[in-house]
């Protein structure tokens, strides 16, 4: 029996050292020892069978995953594999039990195997529960990953649409850039052609000047002396021009100061106008309040008159009874009529004052609009004068640059002995142009300053007269 069990365990790959030692030594064992060894070996055999069954069960899902068969075929294959493994285990058990002599030994072996199988089944159930929990977690993770995958797909679609839009935009930008580059190329070609034409013209002029220079070399010495004299005259003229410009700057400063004074006067007049307007508005409100009070008093007096008329009628009925009361009542009536007349006169006076105040307010508003228009006109004139000054300064700077360039050319040509005589004429032309432009600018500035001063002087008495009229109307 021991040798057979050893062979079986060796065939399974799991023999025991005790069985091997028993087989080698050939010792005789007692029946209980044999029973214990047999039961242990049978349990090991059963354990090996269960392990093989578990391995086959674990291999079945892999096969299902590989083959991808339907559920019915997979169940049938699993049942067949289980039947085969169970048949092998039953045969092995029967062989192991046949080796045992007594039925008690066979029952003990079967009980031990049953206990081992129960433990293994419990372990398998625990593992199944753990695996089910893992499966639930994996399913949750799968759902989460699927949702993330769907989100990623949506983001990918959005990114693809954005990329397409960017590609379209880039294409349009490239086309625009290509068009701009072509236009710039055409402009550059036109500029180069124009520049080449001007260069050819300049070369022709230089050739003509060379021909003229060959004829005019003899006259350069005299022209050099004349140039020295002209340079001295030009220096004197520049000093004179600087003095004139300083004088013009002083005049400009005076004009600015006068303009500031006029603006200050306008501001003061506006402030006075606002004060007078506020004063007149206050008086108008007070007069309105008084007028309303007088109206109320008039209504009250009329009510009193109506009451007195009623009383008068009553007194007429009782005239026969008391003439003295009638006389007193007549006196009171006369007094009340006098008071009513006085109140009517006062109301007429207040109405006239209120109308005069309204007229004064309207006149002040008209004067303010006129002053605002004049102020805007002064500002426009100032802007024009500033623009003229800037334009003349730019012209002056350009002319100075041209004169310096001509000086350099004259000095270079004088040093080389190749000076052209017509170069003297531009200096005189430039000087005459400068003098005329500066004279016109000075005359224009003086005329504008005089007009500004005259208008400001004319505005002062008009504003003072209007304010006096408003005050008189208020009084």
pLDDT digits (tens, 9 = 90+) for 101-157: 788 887 888 888 888 889 999 999 999 999 999 999 999 999 999 999 999 999 999
Helix-then-strand count for the chain, H and E: 8, 0
Q: Which of 45-54, 67-76, 333-342, 452-461 has the lowest mean pLDDT?
A: 45-54
Q: Which of 11-25, 112-126, 283-297 has the highest mean pLDDT?
A: 112-126
Q: What gap in Å lies between CA 57 and CA 128, rounded to an integer?
A: 13
Q: Which of 138-142, 214-218, 274-278 has the highest mean pLDDT?
A: 138-142
The predicted-structure confidence for 437-446, as pLDDT tens digits, reads as follows 556 555 655 6
Query: Among 470, 16, 8, 31, which Cα is nearest to 269's?
Result: 470
Average pLDDT over all residues of the chain? 74
Q: At residue 275, does pLDDT exceed 60?
A: yes
Give the number of other Cβ atoms within 10 Å of residue 316's Cβ: 10
The vertex-80 CA angle with 79 and 82, nearest 5°, equals 65
Q: Between 325 and 292, whose confidence is greater?
A: 292
Q: Between 162 and 76, whose confidence is greater?
A: 162
Q: What gap in Å lies between CA 349 and CA 360, rounded to an integer?
A: 17
Give the pLDDT score at 83: 62
The pTM for the full model equals: 0.23
Give the pLDDT score at 443: 62
Q: What gap in Å lies between CA 313 and CA 310, rounded to an integer?
A: 5
Using CA atoms, how far residue 421 sits from 99, 359, 426, in Å, is 147, 77, 11
Please, which pLDDT band fits residue 52 given cuts at 50, 70 and 90?
A: very low
Q: At residue 85, does pLDDT exceed 60?
A: yes
The predicted-structure confidence for 362-413, as pLDDT tens digits, reads as follows 999 999 999 999 999 999 999 999 999 999 999 999 999 999 999 888 888 8
Query: Among 351, 332, 338, which Cα is nearest to 294's?
Result: 351
Q: What gap in Å lies between CA 42 and CA 106, rounded to an integer?
A: 10
Q: What gap in Å lies between CA 154 and CA 145, rounded to an integer?
A: 14
Q: Which of 109-118, 324-333, 427-436 has the highest mean pLDDT?
A: 109-118
By residue count, the chain amounts to 475
Query: Among 80, 117, 85, 111, which Cα is nearest to 12's?
Result: 85
Query: Among 96, 91, 95, which Cα is nearest to 112's?
Result: 96
The structural domains of the chain, with segments of one domain joined by +, span 2-101, 133-216, 219-474
Q: Which of 206-210, 343-347, 412-416, 430-434 has the lowest mean pLDDT?
A: 430-434
């Amino acid at each position: 029996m021991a040798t057979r069990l050893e062979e079986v365990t060796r065939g399974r790959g799991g023999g025991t050292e005790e069985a091997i030692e028993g087989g080698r030594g050939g010792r005789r064992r007692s029946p209980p020892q044999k029973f214990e060894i047999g039961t242990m070996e049978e349990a090991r055999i059963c354990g090996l069978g269960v392990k093989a069954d578990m391995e086959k069960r674990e291999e079945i899902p892999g096969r299902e995953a590989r083959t991808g068969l339907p559920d019915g075929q997979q169940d049938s294959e699993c049942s067949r594999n289980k039947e085969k493994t169970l048949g092998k285990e039953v045969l092995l058990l029967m062989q192991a039990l046949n080796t045992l002599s007594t039925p008690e030994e066979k029952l003990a072996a079967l009980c031990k195997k049953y206990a081992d199988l129960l433990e293994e089944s419990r372990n398998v159930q625990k593992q199944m529960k753990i695996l089910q929990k893992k499966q639930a977690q994996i399913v949750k993770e799968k759902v989460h990953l699927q949702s993330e995958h769907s989100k990623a797909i949506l983001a990918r679609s959005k990114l693809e649409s954005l990329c397409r839009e960017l590609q379209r935009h880039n294409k349009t930008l490239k086309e625009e850039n290509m068009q701009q580059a072509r236009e710039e190329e055409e402009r550059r070609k036109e500029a180069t052609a124009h520049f080449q034409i001007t260069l050819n013209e300049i070369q022709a002029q230089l050739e003509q000047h060379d021909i003229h220079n060959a004829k005019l070399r003899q006259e350069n010495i005299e022209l050099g002396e004349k140039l020295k004299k002209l340079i001295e005259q030009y220096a004197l003229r520049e000093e004179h021009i600087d003095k004139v410009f300083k004088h013009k700057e002083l005049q400009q400063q005076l004009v600015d100061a006068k303009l500031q004074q006029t603006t200050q006067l306008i501001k003061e007049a506006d402030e006075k106008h606002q004060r007078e307007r506020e004063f007149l508005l206050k008086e108008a409100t007070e007069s309105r309040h008084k007028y309303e009070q007088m109206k109320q008093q008039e209504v009250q007096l009329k009510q009193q008159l109506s009451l007195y008329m009623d009383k008068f009628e009553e007194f007429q009925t009782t005239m026969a009874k008391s003439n003295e009361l009638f006389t007193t009542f007549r006196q009171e009536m006369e007094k009340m009529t006098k008071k009513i007349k006085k109140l009517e006169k006062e109301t007429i006076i207040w109405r006239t004052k209120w109308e005069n105040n309204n007229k004064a307010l309207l006149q002040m508003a008209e004067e303010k609009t006129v002053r605002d228009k004049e102020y805007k006109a002064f500002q426009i004139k100032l802007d024009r004068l500033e623009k003229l000054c800037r334009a003349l300064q730019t012209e002056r700077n350009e002319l100075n640059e041209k004169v310096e360039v001509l000086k350099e050319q004259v000095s270079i040509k004088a040093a080389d002995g190749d000076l052209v005589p017509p170069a003297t004429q531009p200096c005189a032309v430039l000087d005459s142009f400068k003098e005329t432009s500066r004279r016109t600018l000075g005359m224009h500035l003086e005329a504008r300053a005089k007009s500004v001063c005259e208008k400001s002087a004319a505005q002062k008495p008009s504003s003072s007269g209007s304010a006096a009229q408003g005050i008189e109307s208020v009084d």
